[in-house]
Structure 1
Amino acid sequence: MQKATTALFFALSVLALFASSTQGKDWWENGNYYQIYPRSFRDSDGDGIGDLNGVTEKLQYLKDIGFTAAWLSPIFKSPMADFGYDISDFYQIHPEYGTMEDFENMIKKAKEVGIKIILDFVPNHSSDENEWFIKSVDGDPAYADFYIWHNGIVNETTGERQPPSNWVSVFRYSAWEWNDVRQQYYLHQFVTKQPDLNYRNPAVVNEMKNVMRFWLGKGVAGFRIDAVPYLFEKDLDRYNNYPDEPVIDDVSTCPDPDDACHLKHIYTQDQPETLDMVYQWRALADEFKKEHGGDTRILLTEAYTSFDNMILYYGNGIRNGSHIPFNFDFLTNLQNDTKAPTVVEHIEKWLNAMPEGVIANWVLGNHDNKRLASRYGVQRADLFNILLQTLPGNAVTYNGEELAMTDVYISWEDSVDPQACNSDPDRYYDLSRDPARTPYQWDASPNAGKCYKTLI
C-alpha cells in the first residue's frame, strides 16, 4: 500500500510540473469548472426551489474557492418531466428559476466577479409541449419532419400495428410512442415526453444553431452539450424501415428485454454523422468569436461512449471539435477499492491518447452519478478532490463535491427521477439520480440552510 501511495504521489508531482510548464494562455485552458444543478443549489426567495438569483448570490463564493466557470444544468422553460432536460422553449427561462432579467443580472454579476457562465445545451430532443412538436403533430409543413416519425409495421400474425423497430429507451420500454393525432409513431430515446429531433432535416440543424447563437449573444461563454451520442439514428433502408438492434451476447447480464442494456445500440448511438455535428458546432463557436470579438467560446461534450470515440470528440486532425470532451474513462473506472497504480494507469491512458495541441480534462462526478464521496468513501473524498485539482488540464466538479456531500436516501415512494420510476422497488435505488440532486448544504441547519419544496 505504501509503495502504491508513493507511486501515486510521484506521478502527481511529475504531472504538477507538467501542468505548470504547459499553462494555457487562453482563459479556458487549465480551467476549473463547477457544475450547478439550479433546482437544488440555492433558493433566494423561499419558494422552495433553487433559482438564478440564488446562483448570482453565490458567484463570489465560487470565485473565492478558485473556479473559472460555472456550468448550469438546464434553465430553459420546461414541464420538468426530466427536470429541465425536456425543453418546451429553448429561448425562454423556466419561470420557477426566474426571468430573462434575472439571467441578464447573473451574467452581469459573473463579469464583475470574473467567472464565466456556461449553459447546458440539450440538442437531441425537446419536450412534447414544445411548439415545434405540436406543429409537427398537426402536420405543419415547416415542422412535419422536425421529429422522427414512422407508420410502424403490421404484425403479419395478428394484423396489429406495432413499433417500427425493437429500439428501447434509455429509461426502459420501447423508444417509440404512438400519437393518435398524427397516426404515427415518434421516436424518444429518453422519456415519452422527450421526442427526438431529426438531425437529418437541415431545418433542425439550423434552428439549433440559432439557439446557440441566441444564448451566446446573451453573454454566455459556451455550452455543455447533452447526450451527444444519441443525435443520429441509422437512416431508413430502401424499404422505408429501421433495422432491429441485436441482443447482447450474454443475456444473463441483462435479461429483461425492456431494459436498454438488453440490446447492442449499434443503430441508435454513435452514428458517423454525430462527430460531424460536433465539429459544426465548434465552427459556430469559433465564428461567433471572430464576428463579435471577446473571449473564446467553448464546448464541453457529454458522451458515454467508447474511449476511442471520446478522443475523436477533440477533432479529426482537420476539423476541431469539443474543447472539453468529458473524460468519462476516469469517472467510470475508478471505484471505492481502486488502488493507486490503477489511478495512474487511467491518467496516463488519457494523456497518451490525446491529439497534439489539446487540453486534458478530468471528471469525477455529475448529476447523473452517485456522489463522489458515496462512491469512493468520505475518508477518500478530499484525496480525490486534490487529485482532480492537481492533474494537468481542466477539472470539472459537481456542486457539493467540494464539501464531500454524500447521497441522500430517497425512498421508492418519494422518487421522482424517471430513470428510477420506470424501474421497480427492488432496483430503483441503483438507477436513481435523485440522491445526488438533493439541496446544497450551505450550513448545518435543517433543510440545508433553506426551505426547499422538493428534493430535486
Structure 2
Amino acid sequence: MSDASRSDSGTRPTGDSDRDLERRWWKEAVVYQIYPRSFNDSNGDGIGDIPGILEKVDYLEALGVDVVWLNPVYESPMADNGYDIADYRSIHPEFGTMDDWERLLEELHARDMRLIMDLVVNHTSDEHEWFVRSREGDPEYADYYYWREGRGDGPGGKGQPPNNWNSFFEGPAWTYDDERGEYYLHLFDEKQPDLNWRNEAVRESVYEMMTWWLEQGIDGFRMDVINLISKPEGLPDGDPDEGLTGAEHFTNGPRSGQYIDEMCERVLSEEEMTVGEMVGVDAETAREYVGGDGSGLSMLIHFEHMGVDTGDGGKWDVEELDLLEFKDVITDWQETLADEGWNCLYLSNHDQPRAVSRFGDDGEYRRESGKLLATFLFTLQGTPFVYQGQEIGMTNTTFETRDEIRDVEAANFVEAALESGEYDSYEEVRPIVEARSRDNARTPMQWSDEPHAGFTGEEGDGEPWLPVNDDSEAVNVAAARADGDSIWHYYRELIDLRERRDVFVYGDYELLAPDHPEVFAYRRTLEDETLVVACNFFDGEPTVELPALAEAEESPDLLLGTHGHGDENGGRRRSDSGATLELRPYEARVYEL
C-alpha cells in the first residue's frame, strides 16, 4: 500500500485527471473484517485476542487492505459472542486490555490503515448497568428499555407477552422479569434487551459513548441492525403470516431515519466511515439512509442478495443459487445507488456461511471458485469487504453432534425444529445447520499446517474455542502465500488493481447478457476506461455472447483471469454477432477495452 492511498484529505491524488468525482477515502478502501475470537490467539487459552491481532498487523499490510472492521471486543457475558455488551468503554478480559487496543490502533495507523468499531446500540446485555438499574426501577433508567405488563391470563399471574412479536433467534421477543414484574423486549437473545430509543436520555447516552470512541482516534463505525432501533407507538401485534412476526413494525420503524439523521448530525462527519447493517431493506429504501438526501450513512450492509438461495421459509430453507435473481438484486443496487449513495460489497461475514462453500465449490474447484468470487467482489461499484479467511478460500465446517454448535441462533433453530416434529433427529437437520450456521465463519483462522492451524500461542493448552476445520493442513495462509497461483495472491492482485485504477471504484455499471442462467457479465465505464467482466458461477462450460467485446476498435486485452490468460485470445473468439466467450468451470475474466 502506498502512502498516497491515505492522504490528509482522505482521497487518492487525481494526477492529471479532471474527473469531477465525489471522492471519499472509504469509497476507495478495501475493508478486512476481523472476528477477534477466531483470528489469532496469542496466549494459548483457545480464544483469539487483541495481542494476537497485533502479531498479524504486518500480514494485513502485506495483503494490502486499507481498513480493519473489528467485531465487538467490549466487556460482555458472551451470550451472543460479544454482541451483548455489558460495558461499551471496557475491553473484555479474554481479548486483552485497553492498552492493547490502543497499541492496535497505533500500529494500524502507522501502516496507513484505518480502524472501524462495531456499534451495537439496538440492544445491550442484560448485565449492562443501564439494564440492571432499569430492572431495579431506578427512575433515571426505568424507561431505558421496553417494559410492559403481560396481557390476559397467564401462568403465575404474569399474563401473556405484551404482543405476538417473535425474536430473530426463535421464540417470543418478550421475557418476563421476576424482579421488575414485567416483560421486557428483546428482538434477539433474551440476554439482549432492546434499548428504548424513544427516550431522549438513551440517545444522549449513545451519542456520548460514540463521541468517546471517536476521541480515541477510530475512523468510523459498523452499526449493527441499526434500522431496528425505532418501534411504533403502542407496539401493535404483527401479522403471523408475514415471515418473522412483528417485523413489519420494528424493521425501518417510524423514526429510524430520524434517529440516524440525529446521530449523524450530533456525532459524525463525512470523514468517518459509517456502515449501517440493515435487515429488510431494498435498494430504494436504502436511499433514505445514504447519499445526499439520506440520513448520512456512508453505505449499508443489506441482505437481499443473501436470500437468493433460500426459500419462503427464510434462512434455514436452503435452495440452490438462482443466478437470474442474483443478477436482478445486484443490478438493482448498482443502478439505484449509482448517483446517490454507495454500495457495500460482501459475500461473507461473521453471520454468513463461507462464500466459497455457499456460492462456489469447496471441493474440486475451491481455488477457481474462490478466485471467481473475488473477481466479482472487486469489479462492482462499491467498497469490498473481505472477511478473515476469505482471502485463502476457507470453507464451511461440520457439526457431527448438537453439542458442537456454539452459535445461539443455530442451536435455537435445531431445538425448535426437533420440538416441532418436522425433523425426527439431529442427523436430519444437520445438513441445514452445516449449510447456514454462523459457526461456519467463526472457526479459527488457518495460519499454517501446525497443530490447531497455528491459531494458538505457545502457552496454555491451546484448545480452540471452536474446532479448527479439517482442511487446515492444505488450506492455510502459509501455503497460500508460498503458492504464486493461490487465491491469496489473486486477492493481492485485485487489491492492487483497484488501488491504481479509478474505473474499478467509480466506473458506471451496465448488466450484459441479463438472461444467461450461468454467466454474470457486466461493463464498467469511466470516461475512456472500460472493463468487461464475465463470471461463470457454475461448474459447466457455457458460452456467452458479449457484443460489447466486439465494439472496441482494437482487440480487448485480458486484464485479469481466474485461469490465467489461457490461449492467446483468452478463450475469446469472434463471431458475426460480436464476441463469444467460452468459459471453463467457475472461470472469471476481466477484459480492458
With normalisation by structure 1, the TM-score equals 0.84
Over the aligned positions, Cα root-mean-square deviation in angstroms equals: 2.5
Aligned to 2:344: 361
Does the CA-based 8 Å contact 2:231-2:254 persist in structure 1?
A: no
2:390 aligned with 1:401: yes
CA distance in structure 2 between the partners assigned to 1:439 and 1:419 by the alignment = 19
Q: Compared with structure 1, are the counterparts of its residues 367 and 21 closer, same or farther at alpha carbon in structure 2 (3 Å cutoff)?
A: farther
How far residue 156 of structure 1 moved from its aligned partner, in angstroms, is 9.4
Aligned to 1:283: 265
How far residue 159 of structure 1 moved from its aligned partner, in angstroms, is 7.2
Query: Which structure features the higher share of helix residues?
Result: 1
Aligned to 2:413: 423
Deviates further, 322-331 or 71-80: 322-331
Does the CA-based 8 Å contact 1:331-1:363 persist in structure 2?
A: no
Out of 258, 263, 269, which is 2:251 matched to? 269
Aligned to 2:278: 303
Unaligned runs of at least 5 residues, structure 1: 1-19, 237-241, 250-260, 290-295
2:402 aligned with 1:412: yes
- Superimposed CA distance per residue, residues 245-282 of structure 1 (whole angstroms, 9 cap, x where no aligned partner): 11216xxxxxxxxxxx4525222222121122222222
Does the CA-based 8 Å contact 2:167-2:188 persist in structure 1?
A: yes
How far residue 63 of structure 1 moved from its aligned partner, in angstroms, is 2.2
Q: Compared with structure 1, are the counterparts of its residues 388 and 282 closer, same or farther at alpha carbon in structure 2 (3 Å cutoff)?
A: same
Does the CA-based 8 Å contact 1:285-1:298 persist in structure 2?
A: no
Does the CA-based 8 Å contact 2:231-2:253 persist in structure 1?
A: yes
CA distance in structure 2 between the partners assigned to 1:419 and 1:438 by the alignment = 16
CA distance in structure 1 between the partners assigned to 2:158 and 2:321 by the alignment = 52
Deviates further, 269-278 or 111-120: 269-278
Out of 62, 68, 73, which is 2:71 matched to? 73
Where 1:96 maps in the other structure, the secondary structure is coil
CA distance in structure 2 between the partners assigned to 1:284 and 1:332 by the alignment = 35
Out of 324, 333, 353, which is 1:370 matched to? 353
Amino acid at match of 1:403: I
Out of 44, 56, 59, which is 2:57 matched to? 59
Does the CA-based 8 Å contact 1:310-1:326 persist in structure 2?
A: no
Q: Compared with structure 1, are the counterparts of its residues 435 and 341 closer, same or farther at alpha carbon in structure 2 (3 Å cutoff)?
A: closer
- Superimposed CA distance per residue, residues 310-353 of structure 1 (whole angstroms, 9 cap, x where no aligned partner): 332215x5454210212433444379965876655444322211
- Superimposed CA distance per residue, residues 46-93 of structure 1 (whole angstroms, 9 cap, x where no aligned partner): 221101111122222222212110101111000000000001101111
Does the CA-based 8 Å contact 2:308-2:322 persist in structure 1?
A: no
Amino acid at match of 2:183: Y
Does the CA-based 8 Å contact 2:173-2:185 persist in structure 1?
A: yes
State the identity %.
Answer: 35
Aligned to 2:183: 185
Q: Compared with structure 1, are the counterparts of its residues 104 and 206 closer, same or farther at alpha carbon in structure 2 (3 Å cutoff)?
A: same
CA distance in structure 1 between the partners assigned to 2:397 and 2:120 by the alignment = 27
Where 1:281 maps in the other structure, the secondary structure is helix
With normalisation by structure 2, the TM-score equals 0.66
Does the CA-based 8 Å contact 1:362-1:388 persist in structure 2?
A: yes
CA distance in structure 2 between the partners assigned to 1:392 and 1:39 by the alignment = 31
Out of 371, 377, 392, which is 1:388 matched to? 377
Higher radius of gyration, 1 or 2: 2
Where 1:215 maps in the other structure, the secondary structure is helix
Does the CA-based 8 Å contact 1:23-1:29 persist in structure 2?
A: no
Superposed, which structure 2 residues align to 1:430-449 within 5 Å?
432-449=437-454
Out of 91, 94, 102, which is 1:93 matched to? 91
